[in-house]
Amino acid sequence: MGIKNRRTFLSGAALAGGAALLPKQVSSTAISSFSSNSSRVYLTVKPGSADSTTVLNQALATAAKNGQVLYITAGVYNVSGSLSVSMTPAKGFSIIGDGAAVTKIVFTGSSDAFTVVGNFGPNYDPKGDGFRFEGLNLSGPGLTRSGAGLTLLRHGGFVVSDLQVVGFGTGLRLHDSLTGHFSDSIFAYCNDGVLAEAGSLSNPNLHLFTRCTFDSCSRYGLSFFSGSALTLESCEIAANATGIQFSQAGAGQGAVAVTLSGSNYFEGNSQQHIYITHGNFPVVYNLTGAVFNTFTANAGVVFDPYQLKAGSQPAVLNLEGSAFCPGSTYANAPLVLAQPGAGYDGLSVSNRTTLYVPLSSKPVFPPYVHIL
């Protein structure tokens, strides 16, 4: 018998929670004014206009220009257009709400909702590029799932915490982002929960997700295109089509491309929990200490080295301490290794302490794989 399916067990609660997560337009609260001092820009929420787009953009511009903290108090803010701001060189900038449970921005348009442009580029100064986004709920147009909820462009380093993004085409889009830390955040009911992609300045370099949830996204919970290093700590990735998609762009001479630590939990992703497209770089994939539960279509983890051939760089797939528990569908493979090009023999797998339920589902590795 496999591990109990928590999503089945909590189906009633999940439906109720999903209903609460799905966005709806609220017209009773909007911004009527904002005030500022030397260090903060304060937004005051009062009944008034049904559309907060203009005054929010004004407050964003003021805070970014002066390197201030934009503090958005608890309330519901209806936005019909887009929110966009560019950071001022050599000045940090923060956007902080009272918490994702009480500070809610409801977007009714179809374009990208919230865009923050950083200073990363040829003359980048890391001392002036600090950016923080915290304590906000961004709700999109719902079933139409258009635009991106939060877009971060050209950032050298940033911190995002207590963010909830629901009902967009892409919940969080990262483009030309060098390093970032995300914690205690939810990305749900989007096409892609998080999309990190390379630009002209940088590939997604070093990104850490701590205690985050990627849930019910129709394509990817988290997609990391042409990335270098991705780490997940104590996250839940559930009910997406593919939980995590990762394609590797390389990070010098040897790198850890994907690291799972702190008991990450995967469940009910309909295609696969993790799909890795491995490039010709010497890397280690540490998929350790995770629970891969109820994979229903293809496999728990798919490792695809299709572009490699004889003489290509080696790679290590470390599965130590993880558990593969497919539930009642034992015919689905816990691990699929796609066929590489002719002559490739550089993949090593470590799974001495990996639990396969049932034991008969333990994979038989092809000849080109070295067992550590």
pLDDT of residue 10: 32
Per the CB < 8 A criterion, the answer to whether 195 and 223 are in contact is yes
Mean pLDDT score of the chain, rounded to an integer? 82
Share of the chain above pLDDT 90, in %: 41
pLDDT of residue 19: 37
Domain boundaries, the chain: 93-371
Share of the chain above pLDDT 70, in %: 81
Highest mean pLDDT among 4-13, 17-26, 338-347: 338-347
- The CATH number of the structural domain formed by 93-371 is 2.160.20
Tell me: pLDDT of 124 over 60. Answer: yes
Q: Where are the alpha helices (DSSP H) in 245-315?
A: none
- For the question of whether the overall pTM of this predicted structure is more than 0.85, the answer is yes
pLDDT of residue 7: 44
d(CA 202, CA 121): 9
Q: How many other C-beta atoms can be found within 10 angstroms of the C-beta atom of residue 57?
A: 16
Per the CB < 8 A criterion, the answer to whether 286 and 262 are in contact is no
Q: Which residues pair with 215 in a beta bridge?
A: 188, 238
